[in-house]
Amino acid sequence: EADADFLVHCAAISSPAACERDARHCFIVNCPSAILAALPSKTRVVFLSTDQVYDGLNAPYRETDTPSPVNIYGRSKLAF
């Protein structure tokens, strides 16, 4: 059983081309659901996202803008 106050998740497959070649692996690394499930509910999770959760049509973006990823990498980051 894990006991952590914070988890900083910086790992990622960040190459869009690599994510397109192996979407399953991309989601396993970029959305570590098994790790999250093992953490106590009190644990705060910090992760790094990407501008690729947006479609690139209306930059610059704010966190409150509606995401619209156009590739597997963006979808994997949004899923987390």
Q: Does pTM surpass 0.75?
A: yes
Stretch 35-43: mean pLDDT, rounded? 88
Q: What pLDDT shows up at residue 63?
A: 87
DSSP string, the chain: ----SEEEE------HHHHHH-HHHHHHHHS-HHHHHHS-TT-EEEE---GGGS-SSS-S--TTSPP---SHHHHHHHH-
Q: What pLDDT shows up at residue 8?
A: 92
Q: Is the pLDDT of residue 80 over 80?
A: yes
Q: Is the pLDDT of residue 1 over 70?
A: no
pLDDT tens, residue by residue, 15-31: 999 999 999 999 999 99
